[in-house]
Structure 1
């Protein structure tokens, strides 16, 4: 790529921007200070936030200076949701989440060297501001008719209504841009396209107060092939915190990417070159069953978020689950994450028959079908073939004293978790 702007566009990371020619020139003229903000409305970021984090990293690698704002002030309120008011979290909870999110983001960036990143918290400049100051210095620059015109506000007014607190959120976020411009010379804010109204409002506030033009950039909200929101599974959001989404489940999420979208995800979430990504795109067309692109994506993103060691452990576990290696060598935390993704039986003791467990996990529709599976040599426990239809869990060496992996045939898996 001739410059970082070309790379961002090729990777599909530009949904909206202010004056494109001016922004391109600013990015090519020398180090530009820019910021992205995250509100601590949960104890972890999720894969949707990862687009922003990695975009920040790409700009830093190009020599630009990142400011990472974790909003101790805006997190106390929260951006208006489209359907209803947010639940207010306590200041203590929000403060704890600020620290967690900061620690979660830190490994992705460099905080020393030629383009060091800096962490900032908008509570630092908001907490000491009186209501009178806020209304005089910030509020007077926001015409109410334009605030009412914002999509999030209009949707709420048409449904449940909106409190003055959430209605005023845009003023707080806009003031962040103004403060960062004054304190650090920040001249670019980036965020998701759902934040475009807030981002441009901040740029407009800087222009009105300081008489200077600054820039705004929004990345697209990634979707699945059917147009639905990317980043959620049946069990909910895919979190970056391994306690909320296990590394195994995280890896499997990327491994299950649709053929039609995997090349887009590689562009947005990996640091592979255009030539490498094009080659993986051709592999999808020529041999989709091999899932080479999905494997590359899963390995790249899991390594970025959880590290190379965790990725290797997950890959080893995936192989072992399907009979490729010894299950006994799998780390308990990785095994626990894998079991959580499988239909699981939880017997009270070891006297239960394996055939019953096949039924309880949905691997067989009935006991007679389960017995037939055993008789045909298609039932396995911990990768050992079951030959006795009356075998019980007591005949099995449990993994870590409480787990067993059931398999019917080559690909149908279930799990047993013994309550202890």
Structure 2
């Protein structure tokens, strides 16, 4: 696709700062001047740890889209090689070791999803996979040429390693990750003309490793920039719901579920998310985000949710999601976009508590019991007073029931 929006700034660097993405960069003033005067080839890396990107990846995606709109050339680097190890940054435990076949499948899924966001036509974005050069490396030669440039006593001071060591230990397997990511940058600098690596704030140490490696091996000038991770006002990484991750694949998280997730964000996050996850003008985002009246705040949340779903799934799916949300509040309209679970009659759980937990409406049976006792649950618009209610065929109308938790969370269960 070809995505453009009206530029508000002379330099994408200023836009990244003003909209709250930017955290730090190497040679900041020099990089700002470069981005204003030249078309810069840059890359962001994505380890293929799942078969879909998540809402948490939207920060990287939005930054890449904005950079491309100012004439810069994105490289989306799939970590087909590095995912075999797993980045220890930000983790207290070792990542699950994945097979090469699983990683290849996930990388293909990522590639397909990126088509929605970046322009891959001739002269536009490109996609590379580091398995193409990492899997054939000679171990001894790599240690001699790359490993010799890294001091262990300096590496273990980095947060990415220090935190893992404090939590119980760090394998040499994971310890090599920084070397491989640094080598990625060196390789793409040499062969693809990539001069800038961008990533989340937890990638700073790895990015610096690549910048320094290029300086030592090529006597070249490369740059690194990090942006803030997508977190809520409570400091929690965004992209998790009661059912788990909020995926960009509609088969894993429906457009309606994504709409509801964004619609239910904390009031304190509205302005930040409008600025970072939409292409609405900056002034409009700030105006919407500064609302004090409850009705105005809710309207701003609806706009945020609509814009995010439109970005990820397209305008038609966004229209369907908002129509479904309104239908649930008015009791009219199409239910097709509502989150749905199909259950065979023989598999019906004995109790409503179990059903609510299995469908993701609650995290546990205890939470379901508490909400029912508080009067927060209804089935087909009938308030449920007894937590021990059994789920039988008699509850189902035309083969389905709609469970409502609170004012905003709905789930349809269909008998099959």
Taking structure 2 as the reference length, the TM-score comes to 0.84
Establish whether residue 306 from structure 1 lines up as the match of residue 313 from structure 2: yes
Distance 1:235 1:413, change over 3 A: closer
Residue 185 (structure 2) aligned to one of 157, 177, 196: 177
Question: What SS is found at the alignment partner of 1:15?
Answer: strand
1:405 counterpart = 2:402: yes
Cα distance in 2, alignment partners of residues 219 and 412 from structure 1 = 32
Question: How far 1:96 sits from its partner (Å)?
Answer: 0.9
Superposed displacement of residue 313, structure 1:
1.4
Match of 1:248 in 2: 256
Q: Are residue 7 (structure 1) and residue 42 (structure 2) matched?
A: no
Match runs of 1:2-401 below 5 Å: 2-80=10-88, 82-112=91-121, 115-282=123-290, 284-288=291-295, 291-326=298-333, 329-331=334-336, 334-335=337-338, 337=339, 339=340, 365=373, 381=380, 397-398=397-398
d(CA) in 2 for partners of 1:85, 1:68: 25
Matches of 1:162 and 1:207, distance apart in 2: 28
Structure 1 residue runs of 4 or more that deviate by more than 3 Å after TM superposition: 286-290, 344-350, 360-366, 392-397, 410-416
**Number of the residue aligned with 2:386:** none
Mapped to 2, the partners of 1:307 and 1:151 lie a distance apart of 39
1:108 partner SS: coil
Q: CA deviation at 1:234?
A: 2.7
1:95–1:136 Cα change, 3 Å: same
In structure 2, the CA distance between the partners of 1:406 and 1:129, relative to structure 1 (3 Å rule), is closer
What residue number does 2:360 align with? none
Instruction: Tell me what 1:389 maps to.
Output: none
How far is the alpha carbon of 1:232 from its aligned partner?
A: 1.8
Distance of aligned partners of 1:364 and 1:171 in 2 relative to their CA distance in 1, 3 Å threshold:
closer
Contact 2:379/2:401, CA 8 A, preserved across alignment: no
> For 2:396 and 2:95, how far apart are their aligned partners in 1?
49
Shift of 1:348: 5.9
Provide the alpha-carbon RMSD of the alignment.
Answer: 3.2
| Residue aligned with 1:67, SS | strand
CA contact (8 A) 1:349 1:419 kept: no
Report the secondary structure of 1:405's partner residue: strand
Contact 2:44 2:77 in 1 (8 A): yes
Structure 1 unmatched runs, 5+ = 374-378, 386-391
CA–CA distance in 2 between the matches of 1:222 and 1:416?
Answer: 30
Q: Distance in 2 between matches of 1:58 and 1:397?
A: 48
Q: 1:307 to 1:90 in 2, by over 3 A?
A: same
Change (3 A) 1:412 1:346: farther
Counterpart contact for 2:79–2:130, Cα < 8 Å:
yes
Q: Highest CA radius of gyration, 1 or 2?
A: 1
* 1:308-328 Cα deviation digits (max 9, x unpaired): 1211111111112122523xx
- Check conservation: 1:56, 1:66, Cα contact below 8 A: yes
Asked if the contact 2:309–2:318 (Cα under 8 Å) also holds between the matched residues in 1, the reply is: yes
User: So what's the TM-score if we normalise by structure 1?
Assistant: 0.83
Give the unaligned 5+ runs of structure 2. Answer: 1-8, 357-364, 384-391
Q: Structure 1 residues 222 and 412 mapped into 2: Cα distance closer, same or farther (>3 Å)?
A: closer
Distance 1:222 1:311, change over 3 A: same
State how far apart, in whole Å, the 1-side matches of 2:53 and 2:408 are.
32
**Closer, same or farther in 2 for the Cα pair 1:169/1:380, shift >3 Å?**
closer
